[in-house]
């Protein structure tokens, strides 16, 4: 299949992006107020090389690491704490990872930071036994999750509305701050760097997203399947680029059934 070159402007799919993001922030503030957590645990030396750790009050079932989106240049981890509510209620700790944004950092720097963060999280989990650790990310965070799926800490990976081939971004507004180089596109596009073996992976996206975003997941899915690798792809009915987070993380959301089966699922795509 051929990837679409387009605007990649997700705001065009909703009536008021600012209202949605304000809702994310207010919902997330309540999670910080109500749930036990550690704030801004450093994994590096720069101000944004930190993560927040939410601790479930239930019997510990595992840990979910979440990497936020914003095209590697917008947003903050604290705006996305609302995704932690249902996992915490199910016994999962949730870690929200931050990273330095472009243009202060280039994409190679950002990718490196995520690896360092995962190393730091792994050290903190050494005493937690054999409970699973799942890596999830939304949009740009989906790209970063896919890129780091081979990290030894990770049991399964859940990229949500991710970017897996960077080439179509060259002519979009996204690249104004990123300034991608041919070398970065080749080295940092997950669809060009297919591993010999794949951790259990489910690609989620909203059926009401931009065609460009939907095609990113479908392209990556088809590329992995062509190599005989086990991957599932779920199109979530009616979900746009923002509501897809609730469609995935809510108590009755798409992620819940994977958590109940330890991230394993026979391939069954619904696009």
Q: What are phi and psi of 167, to 5 degrees?
A: -55, -45
92 contact partners, CB below 8 Å, separation of at least 6 = 56, 61, 62, 63, 64, 259
Give the pLDDT of residue 266: 38
Cα–Cα separations (whole angstroms), residue 167 to 3, 159, 170, 187, 217: 9, 19, 6, 11, 14
Model pLDDT, residue 6 = 67
Angle at 18 between CA 249 and CA 211, to 5 degrees: 65
Give the per-residue pLDDT at 261.
66
The pLDDT tens digits along the chain (271 residues) read: 556 566 788 888 788 888 999 999 999 999 999 999 999 999 999 999 999 999 999 999 999 999 999 999 999 999 999 999 999 999 999 999 999 999 999 999 999 999 999 999 999 998 777 899 999 999 999 999 999 999 999 999 999 999 999 999 998 889 999 999 999 999 999 999 999 999 999 999 999 999 999 999 999 999 999 999 989 999 999 999 999 999 999 999 999 878 766 555 434 444 4
Provide the pLDDT for residue 13. Answer: 79
Give the pLDDT of residue 262: 58
Give exposure, 110-133, as e/b (b: 16+ Cβ within 10 Å).
bbebbeebbebbeeebeeeeeebb
> How open is the CA angle 13-16-18, to the nearest 5 degrees?
115
- Position 1 scores a pLDDT of 56
Structural domains of the chain sorted by starting position, each given as residue range(s) with its CATH number in brackets: 12-130+139-260 (3.40.50.1820)
- CA dihedral 115→40→162→14, nearest 10 degrees, is -170
Give the per-residue pLDDT at 271.
42
pLDDT of residue 129: 73
């Amino acid at each position: 299949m051929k990837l679409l070159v387009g605007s990649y402007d997700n705001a065009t799919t909703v009536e008021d992006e600012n209202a949605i993001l304000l809702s994310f922030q207010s919902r997330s503030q309540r999670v910080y107020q109500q749930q036990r957590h550690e704030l801004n645990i450093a994994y590096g030396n720069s101000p944004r090389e930190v993560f927040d750790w939410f601790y479930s009050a239930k019997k510990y079932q595992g840990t979910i690491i979440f990497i936020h989106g914003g095209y590697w240049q917008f947003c903050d981890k604290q705006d996305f704490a609302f995704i932690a509510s249902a996992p915490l209620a199910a016994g999962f700790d949730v870690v929200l990872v931050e990273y330095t944004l472009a243009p202060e950092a280039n994409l190679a720097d950002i990718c490196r930071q995520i690896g360092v963060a995962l190393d730091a999280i792994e050290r903190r989990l050494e005493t937690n036994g054999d409970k699973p650790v799942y890596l999830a990310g939304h949009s740009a965070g989906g790209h970063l999750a896919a890129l780091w799926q081979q990290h030894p800490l990770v049991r399964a990976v859940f990229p949500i509305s991710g970017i897996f081939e960077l080439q179509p971004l060259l002519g979009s507004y996204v690249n104004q701050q990123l300034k991608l180089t041919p070398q970065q596109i080749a080295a940092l596009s997950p669809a060009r760097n297919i591993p010999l073996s794949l951790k259990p992976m489910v690609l989620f996206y909203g059926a009401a997203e931009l065609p460009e975003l939907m095609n990113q997941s479908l392209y990556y899915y088809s590329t992995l399947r062509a190599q005989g690798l086990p991957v599932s792809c779920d199109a979530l009915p009616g979900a746009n680029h923002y509501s897809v987070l609730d469609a995935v993380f809510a108590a009755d959301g798409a992620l819940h059934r994977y958590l109940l089966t330890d991230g394993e699922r026979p391939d069954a795509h619904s696009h």
